């Protein structure tokens, strides 16, 4: 038979109400009594009924994390950063994977509301008005990670994706490359991925160049997207000497397709990725990339959310973390 709160009270020699106060971290209990209760909980292996407790406190000590692609090497590191902080503050996590499907994101937001999570860390594949309206309708305390809404209404943790992509593109241009391709997501997507295309276009314009529509391939951030893009470019007999990719996975897929066609990287084509995943550093050739502080994104986001849940004011509602251009062997 499971240990009850009554058993804990009897073991500690206190009332059930006192045990309840300790469990709910109410300050009126003195330290000696609190220690007796905590010792009894540990001895008996008592686990509070989260559902019953949440009905009283309106809190479940649970945070939902919604990511777009669990197979990516980038997003698990964000989750790891978030999890390490939730462990410090005794929060649980419900992890949801949308597979780049906006309808799944909507459904998961509704599910997380039904599960009574205290708040959500949200990495969106398409931060459109419909999604923002749903977050508002469900009244979910939400921190955006990797991206931000255009009006800045929701707290967020990001890098400057436009500036980062601009810098990566200019790096290729300054090395003498003029016929650049882009593989990723177009700017119509109201998220960080679309901003990387904006940075690409801006860098071309500032260098007196134009984006060639036939050298832009838009889908998602997977290896398959990179591979398919090269198939498309070569089938159309398009000439290119550099590729800006919106993720490292895309870059690796593109390089594999180029290799199959006898096109050498970086001798014939330079390729730059985005994210600085571990695989990119041991891939052949090692990827030049934009490094994002993925672990820090997750940890900062959870600290922000816990502050909001505790009704504390945020020092900065829209954190913009630093990025770094990592130069390796996939570019000249």
Domain boundaries, the chain: 5-48, 62-159+293-321, 161-291
Compute φ and ψ for 272, nearest 5 degrees. -120, 135
- CATH superfamily of this structure's domain 161-291: Response regulator (3.40.50.2300)
Q: Is 296 exposed, middle or buried (0-12, 13-18, 19+ CB in 10 A)?
A: middle
Categorize the per-residue pLDDT at 49 as very low, low, confident or very high, splitting at 50, 70 and 90: low
Spatial neighbors of 188 by CB under 8 A, at least 6 apart, are 194
Categorize the per-residue pLDDT at 21 as very low, low, confident or very high, splitting at 50, 70 and 90: confident
Least Cα distance to 215 among 262, 175, 180, 257 occurs for 180
Categorize the per-residue pLDDT at 1 as very low, low, confident or very high, splitting at 50, 70 and 90: low
Sign (positive or negative) of CA dihedral 309, 313, 314, 317: positive
Instruction: Return the pLDDT at 57.
Output: 52
* Topology annotation, domain 5-48: 434 Repressor (Amino-terminal Domain) (1.10.260)
Give the global pTM.
0.81
Q: Is 308 left (phi over 0), alpha (psi -120 to 50) or beta?
A: alpha
Q: Is 193 exposed, middle or buried (0-12, 13-18, 19+ CB in 10 A)?
A: buried
pLDDT in tens, 166-176: 999 999 999 99
- Evaluate whether 62-159+293-321 and 161-291 have a shared fold: yes
CATH of domain 62-159+293-321: 3.40.50.2300
């Amino acid at each position: 038979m499971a240990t009850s709160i009554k058993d804990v009270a009897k073991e500690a020699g206190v009332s059930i109400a006192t045990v309840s106060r300790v469990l709910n971290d109410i300050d009126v209990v003195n330290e000696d009594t609190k220690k007796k209760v905590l010792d009894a909980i540990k001895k008996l292996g008592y686990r509070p009924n989260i559902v019953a407790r949440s009905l009283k406190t309106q809190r479940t000590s649970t945070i939902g994390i919604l990511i777009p692609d669990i197979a990516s090497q980038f997003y698990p590191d964000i989750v790891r950063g978030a999890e390490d902080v939730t462990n410090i503050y005794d929060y649980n996590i419900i992890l949801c994977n949308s597979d780049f499907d906006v309808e799944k994101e909507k459904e998961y937001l509704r599910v997380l509301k039904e599960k009574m999570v205290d708040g959500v860390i949200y990495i969106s594949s398409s931060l459109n008005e419909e999604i923002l309206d749903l977050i508002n309708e469900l009244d979910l305390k939400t921190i955006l990670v990797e991206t931000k809404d255009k009006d800045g209404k929701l707290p967020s943790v990001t890098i400057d994706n436009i500036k980062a992509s601009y810098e990566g593109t200019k790096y290729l241009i300054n090395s003498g490359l003029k016929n650049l391709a882009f593989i990723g997501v177009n700017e119509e997507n109201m998220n960080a991925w679309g901003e990387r295309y904006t940075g690409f276009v801006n860098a071309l314009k500032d260098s007196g160049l134009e984006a060639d529509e036939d050298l832009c391939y838009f889908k998602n951030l997977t290896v398959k997207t990179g591979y398919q893009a090269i198939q498309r470019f070569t089938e159309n007999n398009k000439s290119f000497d550099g590729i800006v990719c919106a993720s490292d996975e895309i870059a690796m897929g593109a390089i594999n397709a180029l290799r199959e066609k006898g096109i050498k990287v970086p001798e014939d084509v330079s390729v730059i990725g985005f994210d600085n995943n571990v695989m990119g550093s041991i891939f052949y050739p090692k990827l030049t990339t934009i490094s994002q502080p993925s672990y820090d994104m997750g940890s900062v986001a959870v600290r922000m959310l816990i502050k909001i849940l505790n009704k504390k004011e945020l020092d900065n509602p829209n954190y913009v973390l630093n990025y770094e251009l990592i130069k390796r062997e996939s570019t000249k």
